[in-house]
Structure 1
Amino acid sequence: MINPRVFESLKAKAEKDLAVRAQLDGIIEALERNVAYTQGVLSRVHSTPRAQYPTALLPSVNAAVADEVATVRELATVASAHPYYKFNHRWTRHLQDAIFTVLLAAWLGGVPSLDAESSSRPAVGRLLTLEEIGEVFGVPVEIDHDAFHIALEEYLSALTSLTDELGRLAMNAVTLGDGELAVRISRFVKELHAGFQLLNLKNDFLRKKVDGVKYAVKKVEGVIYDLALRGLLPAEENKEGEAKEASTAEDVAGNKMNES
């Protein structure tokens, strides 16, 4: 009643599918190991003074990121031979974590220069764009056709992880006596949070992660508030605060004169 060739064909397709999944999973497991190692190296930033980043931290970070890049490129080569949306759920979380490590490494002053302007950028505090992340990994970003790429959602999710880690770094920077770094982090996460408010996100999971950025902002604001109470803010910040107070006083005086 049923042609046995039907099931023979289905069996062949199923076996081919299993072989593809096994090949991808092997690369993804390697990426997971690489990311875990890179995160371990980056965790040293919480106990490393900023002046020692170039010698004690960034060389190891860049070497670890290079291993991630090689694995992602291998994944892209294999995955591009198969339907993207059939398999991308297998690697997206690990790719987000890899993007996060590159974002943090670049923010700390690592990752090779990607453009001619990079030499004029500050050593700490650089935010890589989605396109620059694609250049680091050597893979396309946010493309329309069905091929391996870095999706916008993966980049945005990595940004939320970056704010969480910087919130922790702000607290540890103060412990190391680096109030200036805490102030710089405060400005950065506030600008990042403001940028997120411009997005109209449809992805429920991503929207929840973006909503959580405000907690990182509050954490850093608490650190800056404690520094201000103890009079430990950098001189530049104190001057800015005094200038704002003077400007406010002048405005109040001007309003009173206008009223009289």
Structure 2
Amino acid sequence: MADLEAKPPLSPSSTLEKQFEDFRHHLEESESLRERIRAVAREIESVTRLIYSCLLLVHQSRPIPEVLEKVKAQISKLKELFHRLAGILRECPGQYYRYHGDWRSETQTVVSLLGFMHWLETGNLLMHTQVEERLGLKTSEFGLDIEDYLIGICFMSNELPRYVVNQVTAGDYDCPRKVLKFLTDLHAAFRMLNLRNDLLRKKFDGMKYDLRRVEEVYYDVKIRGLTANGDSTRDLGIQGQS
């Protein structure tokens, strides 16, 4: 009786159709998820454009507290957007890096902007854990990829030569020394890494040029006798970067 009631085996044609029907459902679900992620990423990009346009005012010698006050209001929006991303990713556990590319560029930009803001306020580097804290990220569920953090910091360094030139133009002749010290330390820290990622390596090479441009401004100011007495390259910890 059991044999009589057993369903007949599927034909090779039916098996093939079933497999590709399953594939179709899987791809449709994946694309729907990806579209939701991309929609949030576009909102993040919109907020970062607004933040960057506000930060540009520091190059016009606007008071830093005034500039940062306008920008800080946007951080809570970024935190909420990353919270939404984390919620979407919870629907597909273990698939973080499958969809990571859909918000990666935006995340690097966010790190760059937060890093620049932090440097303007403190003169120090914004640490990886601090970025996660400000964005409300939880490492165990939805954290900040280390390479995204590093590339974002490289992007941040791109703003510093322009900032130095504008500050010197405005009469702040000590700014090049401060920035040069910061970039020298940051460059030395990056040299500790074994950079196998081609993109990260390229961005690190860009940091070398940022350092060189700031050095040129610093030496020009120093030659003109506009730096503080007793200032020297040894004080900055410069060992002749390659």
How many pairs are equivalent? 220
Q: Which whole-Å CA distance do the structure 1 matches of 2:85 and 2:155 have between them? A: 23
1:93-140 superposed Cα distances (whole Å, 9 cap, x missing partner)? 11010111111111111xxxxxxxxxxxxxx30211111111111113
* Native 8 Å contact 1:65 1:101 kept in 2: no
* Structure 2 residue identity aligned to 1:96: Q
Quote the residue 1:53 is aligned against: 64
Partner secondary structure for residue 143 of structure 2: coil
Aligned to 1:15, which of 3, 18, 28? 28
TM-score normalised by the chain length of structure 1? 0.79
- Cα 1:206/1:219, change in 2 over 3 Å: same
Quote the residue 1:191 is aligned against: 185
Q: Which whole-Å CA distance do the structure 2 matches of 1:243 and 1:42 have between them? A: 32
**What is the deviation of 1:6?**
3.1
Identity of aligned residues (%): 30
Partner secondary structure for residue 212 of structure 1: helix
* Native 8 Å contact 2:61 2:166 kept in 1: no
Quote the residue 1:250 is aligned against: none
Quote the residue 2:40 is aligned against: 27
Q: Which whole-Å CA distance do the structure 2 matches of 1:203 and 1:138 have between them? A: 27
In structure 1, stretches of 5+ residues that fail to align are 110-123, 245-260
TM-score normalised by the chain length of structure 2? 0.85
User: For the aligned residues, what is the CA RMSD?
Assistant: 1.9
Quote the residue 1:239 is aligned against: 230
* Native 8 Å contact 2:128 2:149 kept in 1: yes
* Native 8 Å contact 1:107 1:127 kept in 2: yes
1:5-64 superposed Cα distances (whole Å, 9 cap, x missing partner)? 333322221221121011111111101111111111111110124xx211x211111112
* Structure 1 residue identity aligned to 2:230: K
- Cα 1:76/1:243, change in 2 over 3 Å: closer
* Structure 1 residue identity aligned to 2:214: V
* Native 8 Å contact 2:124 2:182 kept in 1: no
Q: Map 1:40-189; keep pairs closer than 5 Å.
A: 40-49=53-62, 52-54=63-65, 56-82=66-92, 83-109=95-121, 124-141=122-139, 147-189=141-183
Q: Which whole-Å CA distance do the structure 2 matches of 1:239 and 1:17 have between them? A: 62
Quote the residue 1:37 is aligned against: 50
Q: Which deviates more, 4-13 or 183-192? A: 4-13
In structure 2, stretches of 5+ residues that fail to align are 1-11, 236-242
- Cα 1:7/1:59, change in 2 over 3 Å: same
